[in-house]
Amino acid sequence: MNSFTDFGLLRTLINTLKENGIQKPTEIQAQAIPLIMSKQSVVGVSETGSGKTLTYALPILHALKSLEDDGNPVTENASPRAVIMVPTRELGEQVAKVFKIFTHGTRLRVRPALGGMSFEQARRNISSPFEILLATPGRLVQLLEKELIQLHDVRMLVFDEADQMLDQGFLPDSDHIVDSCPKDVHLSLFSATVSKAVQELMNSLFSKAEVIRSTGSGKVTKSLVTDNRTVVDGKRWPVLEKVLRIPLKKNQGGTILFTNTREQCDKLAQELKDHGYPCAVYRGEMDKNERRSNLKKFRTGEIDLLVSTDLAARGLDVEHVGRVINYHLPEQKENYLHRAGRTARAGRSGIVVNLVTERDQRLIASLEGKKYEIKKGRTDNPFRSAKIKEDFPESPTSAVPIKIKSNEYKTKSTLEENNFVKKPVKSKFEKSDKKSFKKSAPRISDKEARYEKLKPKVKTQLKTKPKFDEKKPVKGNTKFLKSVKPGKRHGQ
């Protein structure tokens, strides 16, 4: 399908799409929207920036608005008809922005109950009637346990960015949420990659679902330019500084620099500031208000450099990110694809710069579709598997037999060729060998006994004081002693 009108969407949705310049559906949208609208469970695997949010948002808005137009509006408090599960608050806010574009025309209500906001705020958000719930698994389970929300009227349940959500250990919470919904609930799952946890969920809850994989899934987008820079002896900063000196175009956007750990993130941010490059930090284990403030500065263009961990790699949609720099490359290919997906989104161009060390060669080979070969030692060393007579023949001028000195050549074949006769090992110790026998130190198995044996001996004090021999003459200068009067100190 080449147009959104071919899906049979409501006129209000089509008009909103035209007003926002969205005319042609992407590959994942063209394949998944008709299936979701026909109430079929769908698993959509597509690269980041391919429009997965709009893929499930349009069918949800169409279905719920149609129920309202047919005289079946939502009247109960805290009883949504569609639930969208997201891994983080930041992603939930981005999804809310997409829905907000269309809620002006449909008048449908979207309420967030996300981790990161206070529990009281989440409770107030869901206290009145509404149609669509945006929630993180942990916060929704809390509301269910306190019986503050009911899912008996849910018609559609969506797992967005499922790979990130399930990697964080939300699989038990997800099972609990599905069990709280009606048995005939329409399930959808969207992810950029398929991890083991996602595959497990697909096998259990989505065994009958239609799996859709776009041609770009598991790959970077075609509009992305990759620049691999070699790092020698672990010196990354000189390589990075050369990259930062290359300016981006005015409307191309900012740069996100990725590291693997929080410590690396803080260290790189400090190094950038020390060299005169203003930047902001976006990572876990920091104040949430500060993190949101830093992200806002980067989005508005106040700061051009954002240093982050993989927290910003998944689901974070920032417009006009012109360049991604992997200061530390990840170990997993899936994490790399999420990082690279922060740029070149929605058909725009972008650049990803990789600082490549020796340990990153396996990842680079996997991305380029090449087979990684482990470098081995020399195979042309003649001393590894040499045979004495073939590779080292006897000298014609000497009849002296070759003596094997090194244990390296004492293999079975070489010993036999040199007429080596193994001496029989004596089973018992004989008196004739007494002179050559060296008695070994006895083993002390008991630790305390060993300690008593090894600790230094302390000299015992004499019980009686030594007697002073008055008759024995005093050696040395005695003139000074004679001058000293008893009972007085010298000099008094």
Q: Which residues pair with 159 in a beta bridge?
A: 85, 189
Report the percentage of the chain scoring pLDDT > 70: 72
Query: Residue 389's pLDDT is what?
Result: 46
Residue 101 has pLDDT above 50, yes or no: yes
3-state secondary structure of 150: coil
Residue 383 has pLDDT above 70, yes or no: no
Query: Residue 419's pLDDT is what?
Result: 59
**Interval 310-367: pLDDT, tens:** 887 765 667 778 899 999 999 888 888 888 888 877 667 889 999 999 999 999 988 8
Determine if residue 454 is left, alpha or beta; phi over 0 gives left, psi from -120 to 50 gives alpha, anything else beta: alpha
Query: Residue 388's pLDDT is what?
Result: 44
Please tell me whether the overall predicted TM-score, pTM, comes out greater than 0.75 for this model.
no
Amino acid at 50: S
- Which domains are seen in the chain, by residue range? 4-213 (3.40.50.300), 224-367 (3.40.50.300)
Query: Residue 466's pLDDT is what?
Result: 53
Instruction: Give residue 392's pLDDT band: very low, low, confident or very high (50, 70, 90).
Output: very low
**Interval 431-476: pLDDT, tens:** 555 545 445 455 555 556 656 666 666 555 555 555 545 555 555 5
- What are the residues whose beta carbons fall under 8 Å from the beta carbon of 351, sequence distance 6 or more? 224, 225, 226, 227, 322, 323, 324, 343
Of 213, 125, 90, 115, nearest to 170 (Cα)?
115
The alpha carbon of 419 is separated from its chain's Cα centroid by a whole number of angstroms, namely 60
From the CB of residue 355, how many other CB atoms can be counted at a distance below 10 Å? 20
Query: Residue 458's pLDDT is what?
Result: 59
Query: Residue 477's pLDDT is what?
Result: 57
Query: Residue 2's pLDDT is what?
Result: 77
Of 128, 192, 116, 182, nearest to 160 (Cα)?
192
Mean pLDDT, residues 289-315: 87
- What are the residues whose beta carbons fall under 8 Å from the beta carbon of 312, sequence distance 6 or more? 256, 258, 282, 306, 342
Query: Residue 327's pLDDT is what?
Result: 96
**Interval 215-244: pLDDT, tens:** 766 666 677 889 999 999 999 999 999 999
Mean pLDDT, residues 119-124: 95
Rg over CA atoms, the chain: 39
**Interval 237-278: pLDDT, tens:** 999 999 999 988 777 889 999 999 999 999 999 999 999 999
- What are the residues whose beta carbons fall under 8 Å from the beta carbon of 101, sequence distance 6 or more? 16, 20
